[in-house]
Amino acid sequence: QTVVTQEPSLTVSPGGTVTLTCASSTGAVTSGYYPNWFQQNPGQAPRALIYSTSNKHSWTPARFSGSLLGGKAALTLSGVQPEDEAEYYCLLYYGSAWVFGGGTKLTVL
């Protein structure tokens, strides 16, 4: 069974920078896994932020960026705002199935 692993929780100060990562139990994450990233606020549906590793949707704030880092997919928030406090999920494609990461609870403190 394929497992996608994210940091369970991270804390960042307002205005700071934080990187969330997404690792695959099958090995290094590449662009061929088409990494997508989502933000979810309590009681709301997830909202897509990043697709195909590093591409932003039209509604994605400029402070969010995606990349590949050390064999993992990564989501970096630069100049963090209080409203960025949320749960973040990555999603990877394995040829015939998608698998979500367990999510990272980001606290802005």
Binding site for another protein (CB under 8 A): 1, 34, 36, 38, 40, 45-48, 51-52, 55, 57, 89, 91, 93, 96-103
| In the complex, least distance from residue 79 CB atom to another protein, rounded to whole angstroms | 25
Residue placing its CB nearer to another protein in the complex, 38 or 74 = 38
d(C-alpha 96, C-alpha 78), whole Å:
34
Q: Which of 78, 96, 103, 82 is nearest to 17 (CA)?
A: 78
The residue length of the chain stands at 109
Half-sphere CA count of 16, side-chain side, radius 13 A:
13
| In the complex, least distance from residue 87 CB atom to another protein, rounded to whole angstroms | 8
Q: Is 82 helix (H, G, I), strand (E, B) or coil?
A: helix
Residue placing its CB nearer to another protein in the complex, 86 or 103 = 103
| In the complex, least distance from residue 63 CB atom to another protein, rounded to whole angstroms | 20
